[in-house]
């Protein structure tokens, strides 16, 4: 491979890595996330997300919301030692994670899509 071709491939690699890094940084460190309004709507409507810090399904659910997860109406159900459940979650009858409770008394248990949360809550997903 000649020097010109090597320089081309190195430049292309730098652009790809740099672009990916910039995109990740902007998505995770600046401004609001596109799901902020959706997460806030869930909270405003009285929807509650019960989970546990050690729950992989809860982490995947939070990841779907990206930085907007901080706006979710989340209730931690696990004690710090992960050996018991908090009194509020016992009182609410939470048996598995994640559990989403809706104002009408219904619930969604396990992993679900954003569209399912939108359909169940009446909150609009951003386009």
CATH number at 62 reads 3.40.30.10
Owning domain of residue 101: 36-121
Residues 63 and 112 in one domain: yes
Q: Is 127 within a domain?
A: no
Range with the poorest average pLDDT among 14-18, 23-27, 56-60: 23-27
- The count of structural domains within the chain is 2
Residue 41: partners with Cβ closer than 8 Å, 6 or more residues away: 121, 123, 124
Based on the domain organization, do 92 and 61 belong to the same domain? yes
59 and 4 both lie in a single domain: no
Whether 48 and 89 share a structural domain = yes
Inside any domain, residue 104: yes
Question: Is residue 24 pLDDT above 90, yes or no?
Answer: no
Residues 6+ apart with CB under 8 A from 103: 45, 46, 47
Both 42 and 9 in a single domain? no
Look at residue 2 in the predicted model and tell me its pLDDT. Answer: 74
Four-residue CA torsion sign, 106, 110, 115, 118: positive
**Long-range own/partner contacts, residues 102-105 (CB < 8 A, 24 or more apart):** 102/45, 102/46, 102/47, 103/45, 103/46, 103/47
- Between 14 and 119, residue with greater pLDDT: 119
- The structure's pTM equals 0.73
Helix (H) or strand (E) holding 75: strand 74-76
Residue 116, in any domain of the structure: yes
Q: At 30, is the pLDDT very low, low, confident or very high (cuts 50, 70, 90)?
A: very low
């Amino acid at each position: 491979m000649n020097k010109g071709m090597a320089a081309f491939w190195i430049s292309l690699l730098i652009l790809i890595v740099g672009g990916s890094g910039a995109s990740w940084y902007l998505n995770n460190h600046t401004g609001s996330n596109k799901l902020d309004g959706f997460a806030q709507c869930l909270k405003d409507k009285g929807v509650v997300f019960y989970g546990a810090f050690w729950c992989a399904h809860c982490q995947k659910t939070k990841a779907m919301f990206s930085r907007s997860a901080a706006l979710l109406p989340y209730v931690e159900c696990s004690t710090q030692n992960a050996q018991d459940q908090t009194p509020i979650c016992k009182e609410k009858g939470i048996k598995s994670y994640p559990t989403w409770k809706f104002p009408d008394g219904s619930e969604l248990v396990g992993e679900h899509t954003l569209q399912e949360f939108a359909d169940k809550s009446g909150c609009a997903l951003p386009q």
